[in-house]
Every structure is written in C-alpha cells, then in structure tokens.
Structure 1
Amino acid sequence: MTNVIAILSPAKTLDMNECSRNIEATTCRFKAKSNSLAKIMQTYSSKKMSSLMKISKKLSDLNTERWKSFGKSNNASGPAAICFRGHVYQGFEAWSMDKRSLNWSQKHIRILSGLYGLLRPLDRIEPYRLEMGTALKTDAGSNLYEFWGDSITKLLKKDIKETKASILLNLASLEYVKALDTQSLDVNVVDVNFLEKSKGKTRFISFHAKKARGLMARWISMEKPKSIEALQKFNIGGYTFDSSRSEDSQLTFTRPKP
C-alpha cells in the first residue's frame, strides 16, 4: 500500500466570475516570489509583452491590464482549480467536487505554474498569463526555469514527505515538468498517456488528452488509489488501461475516438 501525489499544468483560460464562490481559498506558498515576478511584468508595455509571450495584440492588451490590477485588494481572485477553465480543468471539475474529495486533492494534487511555482488546488490566484517556458529575464537568469531553480522541487519533496507518497503521477505537460528535478524526488514517477483509436490507428489528440488528465485527477481525488494496480482501474470517459502500450513508469489508456 502506498500514497499517490499528482501534478497538473495550469490553464490559460480563466473564469474569475465563477471562482469566488463559497469555497475558502488558501495562500500560495511562493507569494513573495510570485509578487516579484508580477512587479517585473508590470513594467512591460503591451507591445513588449506581445513579443515576449508571442501572443496577439488583443491578448497582450488584456494581460497588460491584468498586471496593472495584480495585487490590488479589489482585484478578482479565487481558488486556482476553480478559476482555471482549460481542457484539464473541465475534466477535473473541482467546482462540482464533494468536500471530502476536494480536501484530498488539496493534499495530493499539485499544479505547476510559471507565476505561482507550485499551487495547491485551493490556493488563491489572480488573473494572469505567464507560461513556464517564457524567456523572462530576472535577476536569477534568462527564463523562468532559472528563476524557479530548485525551489519548486524542494517544496514538492516536502509535500511528498507529508503525504507519505511513493508514486508521483505525472499529468502535466513537458513544458511544466521541466521545472522539476524528477530524478531527485524519492518517488516512482509514473507518466500517463491517453490515446484515441480510429480506423485501426491509435493517435494522441491534444485536447482530448488534456481533458483526460483532468478526469484522472478528479478520479484519484474521489477513489484515492494506493497502488499502480489501482491506478490502472481508471475508466472514466471511455478510457481503459492498455497493458500492451504500458510500462512500469508509463500508464497508457486508450478509447475509441468519440
């Protein structure tokens, strides 16, 4: 018997109107570091931000305004897993989770973030866009990987110790996993693949896989699996475990293309 801790990527899509409902938010554990990043971002013009993030003028205008409001007492905010509304979080659906499952996820689910480092599902966030792969210059280096250094890994190690986890379920994208030194974590790191079957072929389809990662994060929050064998029983959204495509360090789930 063992315990599982899982990691997710954040989302670019946010819904700040819905995320302030009657769920008490917790405080991000890297608040000082995220505030220092916000101060840097507040110096960026819309044009400069568009170039940095490789986004449209419309998006850079929106995010310039977001950074201007960041940290103000009247700025919209709420629990991360409820504010995030991308494909992963449409699968996770923290907003409809029962209290017991939500409390479990607060201890066992972690969200990697370019701005906040490592979030618990109920940690308070403000509207932002800052992907981990951004080449943002800081006093620590030329990108966010150098800014965060080993601090995210150290905090995750602490969480792993507190939960007595021996399995780290990787439900995050490579861009975010690169912020971790997984080799130094004293756990079995298990990657997860979600594939679609159609016309005799098996393919990876990004937006389906993203939602499936969220579905699995929700499922483990409800089922609380304690072994690799228990994780293999995941069967939400039409997915079933495919032993022929799996290894000790990688679980693959397939389904007929919807």
Structure 2
Amino acid sequence: MLMLISPAKTLDFDTPAHTAQYSQPDFLDESKVLIKELRALAPQDISALMKISDKLGTLNYQRFADWQTPFAPDNAKQAVLAFRGDVYTGLDADSMSDDDLAFAQQHLRILSGLYGLLRPLDLIQPYRLEMGTKFANARGKNLYEFWGNDITEAINAQLKEAGPLVVNLASNEYFGAVKPKALNAEMVTPVFKDFKNGKYKIISFYAKKARGLMSAYIIKNRITDAEQLKTFDVDGYYFSPEESSDSEWVFLRDEPA
C-alpha cells in the first residue's frame, strides 16, 4: 500500500526534528532544473505567477536563491516534519515513534511541485511551488507537463515493495500529476463529509485534517489491506457503505469532534 498526500504551503524549519533518520529525494536532479529556471524570475514575477503578496514573492525569491545541494540535516529537514497545515495537523508526525516513521517511509508518499514524489524522511529545503502553478518551463507550459510520467512511474516502481494498493488522500490539484490509468494497482479514494445544514458535505478544513488523520491511523495500526481502511473511526468519522462506490469510499461524521 502507498498513501498519497499533498504537501503544505506552511513550513516549519525552526522546530528541531525528533529523529536523526533521513533520506534524500529521488528527483533532486529535476528539482535543480526547476530551481535554475525559477531563479530567472524577479520577486514581482513570482508574486504574479503564484498570486501571492509582494512580501511572499520576495521570501520565495530568496528561498530559490538560497536553495543548494547537497542536503544535510544542518541545511534541510525531513519533509513530513517540515510541512505544516491542516493535513499535517491530522497526521501529527511529531508524535510518531521511529517505528511509526519507518512504516511511513515505506507506505506514505508526498506529491510536490518542486520535488515530484517525496518519502516522509526525505530532506527538503524551504520552497513554495504548488503543482497547479502555470509555470512555463523547458519541458512544457506547466508543472504537470514538467513531471510527465515520472511520478507515476516512480509510484509503480515503489508499489512492487509496498503492495498493489494506492490510497489517494491527495487533493485534486496534486493527484493531477499522477496518471491513474497507468498505475499497476487497485486505487481507493477516501472522501470525508460532515453533517451541516441538514446534509452531509465536504468541508475543506475538516476534509484536509481527516486525510492526515487517516494517514496516521494507517501508519499507527500498520494497515496494509484495503478492507481495513473501513475501520477508520477517528474523531467521529465512520464508513458509509451506502454513500460509497468501489473506488470512492465515503466516511461521514455527524458532528465535529
């Protein structure tokens, strides 16, 4: 089983990592290509491209300028501990033991606009480059064209060890970099709905956190079988067979925890 999640815009490189274990991203050569092209942009160009403030444009201009290899614990941080935000609040990797992180390293993958496909303990340096950014580059008009089949092929290669199941807990923006029909695996997409105004609906904040909660549930319970996902019951969620299809499994919650 491989779980796929999205990265986060919010980063934390100040809190020391609670593990000494780390690995290197597989696609650093591709990241270098993107960084070289991103360095050609002025701060105002970055602000316009990413639709962010001048302050954030300047911050990311400096990040791209400072980005350098080789990555080591003194200039980079493990991805799952560096990303913050709703998904990572649910995941709560800071509370994971070394054994938990070892299982996550085998079964959790983070999709990234700059790094392609990350394992949890892969070192990263600060960046902002969302997958949906329409950044024209040497390989095409956007990041989906830049990454092409690379991410899908990497997932397929890793499924040989992890087992033939993909649990898609990523956003549509990031999962768009994967070619589902080319995956050599069964795929399940969990959907989380909360009861509001008389009906169940996807509420973005809660759904993002729930993706992290399910990832943590899988990791801490060492789940490798699809059917076991249906036992997920954290924070009041429960599996709804009536709402679900073969590939889209719906989890409902009657009241936020």
- Shorter-chain TM-score bucket reads over 0.9
The offset of 1:21, in angstroms, is 4.2
**What is the letter of the counterpart of residue 103 of structure 1?**
A
**What is the letter of the counterpart of residue 253 of structure 1?**
F
1:174-213 alignment, distance < 5 Å: 174-213=172-211
**Is the deviation greater in 109-118 or in 61-70?**
61-70
The reply to whether residue 10 of structure 1 matches residue 7 of structure 2 is: yes
* Corresponding residue number in structure 2 for 1:141: 140
* Corresponding residue number in structure 2 for 1:253: 251
Among 55, 58, 62, the residue aligned to 1:58: 55
Q: What is the number of residues matched between the two proteins?
A: 254
* Corresponding residue number in structure 2 for 1:121: 120
- The RMSD of aligned alpha carbons is 1.5
* Corresponding residue number in structure 2 for 1:44: 41
The reply to whether residue 89 of structure 1 matches residue 88 of structure 2 is: yes
Among 19, 25, 29, the residue aligned to 2:22: 25
Query: Which blocks of at least 5 consecutive residues in structure 2 are unaligned?
Result: none
TM-score, with length taken from structure 2: 0.94
Tell me the distance in 1 between the aligned counterparts of 2:236 and 2:199.
17
Deviations 1:20-50 (A, max 9, x none): 4443221000011001111111121111001
The reply to whether residue 241 of structure 1 matches residue 239 of structure 2 is: yes
Whether the aligned pair in 2 keeps the contact of 1:19 and 1:83 (CA below 8 Å) is: no
Whether the aligned pair in 1 keeps the contact of 2:236 and 2:255 (CA below 8 Å) is: no
* Corresponding residue number in structure 2 for 1:80: 79
SS for the counterpart of 2:208 is helix
Tell me the distance in 2 between the aligned counterparts of 1:55 and 1:93.
27
**Is the deviation greater in 235-244 or in 121-130?**
235-244
The offset of 1:203, in angstroms, is 1.4
**What is the letter of the counterpart of residue 222 of structure 1?**
K
Deviations 1:142-169 (A, max 9, x none): 1111111101111111110122x12210
Tell me the distance in 1 between the aligned counterparts of 2:13 and 2:221.
29
Among 228, 231, 235, the residue aligned to 2:229: 231
**What is the letter of the counterpart of residue 37 of structure 2?**
I
Identity of aligned residues (%): 42
Deviations 1:86-128 (A, max 9, x none): 1101111112111212101101100000000000000001000
* Corresponding residue number in structure 1 for 2:131: 132
**Is the deviation greater in 194-203 or in 28-37?**
194-203
1:209-220 alignment, distance < 5 Å: 209-220=207-218
**What is the letter of the counterpart of residue 60 of structure 2?**
N
**What is the letter of the counterpart of residue 217 of structure 1?**
S
Tell me the distance in 2 between the aligned counterparts of 1:115 and 1:82.
17
SS for the counterpart of 1:130 is coil
Query: Which blocks of at least 5 consecutive residues in structure 1 are unaligned?
Result: none
Tell me the distance in 1 between the aligned counterparts of 2:229 and 2:151.
25
The offset of 1:240, in angstroms, is 0.8
Whether the aligned pair in 2 keeps the contact of 1:167 and 1:189 (CA below 8 Å) is: yes
